[in-house]
A and B are shown apart, each in its own frame.
Chain A
Amino acid sequence: MSAQAPADPVAVGLPGPLGNMVAARLRRRAASERRWAKVTLWLGMAIIGAIVLIAAAAPLLGFVKPDQQNLAQALQAPSLHHPFGTDTLGRDILTRVIYGARIDLTFAFVTTIIPFFFGALVGALAGYRGGWLDTVVNRFVDTVVAFPFIVLILAIVTIEGPGLTGAYVGVFAVGWALYARLTRGEMLVERQREYILAAQILGYSTPRIVLRHALPNVLRASIVFSMADIVLNILLLSSLSYLGLGVSPPTPEWGALVAEGQNVLLTSWWVATLPGLVIVLTGVGFSLIGDGIADRFGRDFTLTGSG
């Protein structure tokens, strides 16, 4: 579909120079809006991309080991040699942050993607079938969502002992429910759509209809939410570690790093603050991506709708 040669007001000869000015202003405004929308998405992707790359390449970058202690160098302010400074045990904080990224990002991705798929599938099926399956799934989802999450984590940690396992189990147990709810909601609407009815009349099997036709069209809300979910999961792990319920020392998880710097916050601010800022930056990056995606989905403006 070509989009070339829309009317040039000058060539068309709009009455009055005023027309050309307004036209030009309209064009500028539209162009700047488009640019701005692109910026959000690309900025977010740049931030996350950079963090992921650095984290992935960490072992190859020739950093000192993250738990390498050097008490003589303890609590050094940020400098060329130690861009993020050193902590109470003389460990380079930048290195610890980078290695921490590996833990946090892995956690974030895994705890988002797996519940996403599982929840979306369950929700889509329940929404499509309706009946008792839907009722059962609904009650289950309601229960899970209503459950106080921290209590669950504490319980698991009490049983399992502290460590990443508890956090993973906890999020898997609970995280899928919102996705199920979102896709179920969209499926309730989508299953009335005529292309689904056509698929039924054409004699397609239910798995084919749900998986191949309906599912891709009911994921929109879930995808947008998943961006927020990633951020929430990072914060979750960081909070847990901060509280001492997540990873155990000397594992360099971001939240743990913040906890480690608490005591010296007033004298050596960099120990807690810089890891904290990295958490914020990551969160902002994912949020920007989420905004950018939501924008692109939302911008379905067509002219020929109202005659």
Chain B
Amino acid sequence: MSAAEPLLAVSGLTKRFVDRHAVVDKLRRRPPATLTALDGVGFSLLPGETLGVVGESGSGKSTLARCIVRLHEPDAGSVMFEGTDMLSAAGAELRGLRRSIQMVFQDPYTSLNPRLRIGAAVAEPARVHGLIERGEEEDYATELLERVGIRPETVRRYPHEFSGGQRQRIAIARSLAVKPRLLIADEAVSALDVSIQAQLLSLLEQIRSDLGLTMIFIAHQLAVISRLADRVAIMYLGRIVETGATADVFANPRHPYTRALLEAHPRIDGTRVRKPAVRTETPSPYSIPSGCRFHTRCPLAEDVCSRVDPPAVEVPSLRGGHVSACHVLARAAEAHTPAAVGDVGG
């Protein structure tokens, strides 16, 4: 692992959403209902890397993305972009930083202004940041649109004239207009049909290598990021429970939740009469379980798991940087006991 300066360094990021104080709670002198979306999240990203962030509902992955671009203000923690503190930037400095980090959203039907022609929507960011002059907009937009596979003759059309997959391409083009260094794809392909998903993933891969982009790819399925992501971070209820090189984590998952996600991936070869790998449902982020937040569903849960929050421990791996927060599996790794895949379901 090179000692290069990370492009993005996130540390201790915490974000809570506090509901309006219900009368019932006020009367009983209870604190207002609080949703813990992020609870001490940290990672770093080297230039050119792609990080896959995978988690299900309530994991906080979207909140993470929004905190990084400061759509939400985190309650604690830091976000350093190329050494600059993003959370304290303001005014012109913030605007400059905004050029560097862009985001593509999940819903193709609301991520484009329905009243703006796509050429105008794609060129506007460049105008606003002074990258182009008036009159250069259409050419600039055409070039960007061609790069994402949208035919130049359609530059004056409105978003509703395009399909979902095409709209996502346009949204990507818009985010590229300011020549960002880091692109965050927040479930950017989740709302698309499988055949179109495949096209978009291929496109993102191509853009990434053409433009040397660093990427954070957020998804709720591990399989989606398997080819794109160099490293992966698995999130559960506001924490990263495991992270490492994608190949390492897939080959040797060191957290029961990761294993459950891998197990849950459907196979199309034969019918599996599977025993579900985890029990029950994800607890509500309003009441995070004590100790290890996964212990209520974990097939390996021991006594310690309900009392003590497991520390993030580095485990042996081929490519290094494989970290897991699990009492049981981290212990097994330390003892150099290969944790058998058959542990799950025990």
Q: Which residues of A contact B (CB under 8 A)?
A: 1, 193-195, 197-204, 208, 213, 216-217
- B51 within 8 A of partner (CB): no
In the docked arrangement, what's the CA distance between A201 and B171, Å?
13
* Bound Cα distance from A209 to B110, whole angstroms: 15
B98 on the interface (CB 8 Å rule)?
yes
Question: Per a CB cutoff under 8 Å, which of B99, B101, B114 touches A217?
Answer: B114
Task: Chain A residues near B95: list those with CB within 8 A.
Answer: 203
B102-A201 in contact (CB<8A): yes
Among residues 264 to 305 in chain B, which have CB atoms less than 8 Å away from a CB atom of chain A? none
- B105, A216: Cβ atoms under 8 Å? no
Say yes or no: B110 contacts A195, CB within 8 Å: yes
Contact present for A198 and B98 (CB under 8 Å): no
Q: Please give, as numbers and ranges, the residues of chain B lying within 8 Å of A200 by CB-CB distance.
A: 71
Tell me, rounded to whole Å, the shortest Cβ–Cβ distance linking A204 to chain B.
Answer: 6
- A-B contacts, CB under 8 A, total: 55
With a cutoff of 8 Å between Cβ atoms, the chain B residues found around residue A208 in the complex are 128
Contacts known (A1-B161, A195-B113, A217-B114); A203 close to B128, Cβ less than 8 A: yes
> In whole angstroms, how far apart are the Cα atoms of A35 and B196 in the complex?
38
Residues of A within 8 A of B114 (CB): 195, 217
Q: Are A201 and B103 within 8 A (Cβ)?
A: yes
Q: Are A202 and B128 in contact (CB under 8 A)?
A: yes
Whether the Cβ atoms of A217 and B115 lie closer than 8 Å is yes
Least CB distance, B114 to chain A, in whole angstroms: 7
Q: In whole angstroms, what is the CA distance A216 to B158 when docked?
A: 15
Question: Which of chain A's residues has its CB closest to B174's CB?
Answer: A198
* CB–CB B110/A202 < 8 A: no
Are B113 and A202 within 8 A (Cβ)?
no
Contact yes or no, A204 B113, CB < 8 A: no
Which A residues are in CB contact (< 8 Å) with B175?
A: 198, 202
The answer to whether B161 touches A201 (Cβ under 8 A) is no
Contacts of B105 in A (CB 8 A): 194, 197-198
A234 CB to nearest chain B CB (Å):
31
* Shortest beta-carbon distance from B41 to chain A in Å: 19
Per-residue CB proximity of B93-107 to A under 8 Å, as 1/0?
011001101110111
**Nearest residue, chain B, Cβ from A214:** B113
Contact call A194/B111, Cβ cutoff below 8 A: yes
Q: Known A202-B98, A208-B128, A216-B115; judge A197-B71 contact (CB<8 A).
A: yes
**Cβ of B171: which chain A residues have Cβ within 8 Å of it?**
198
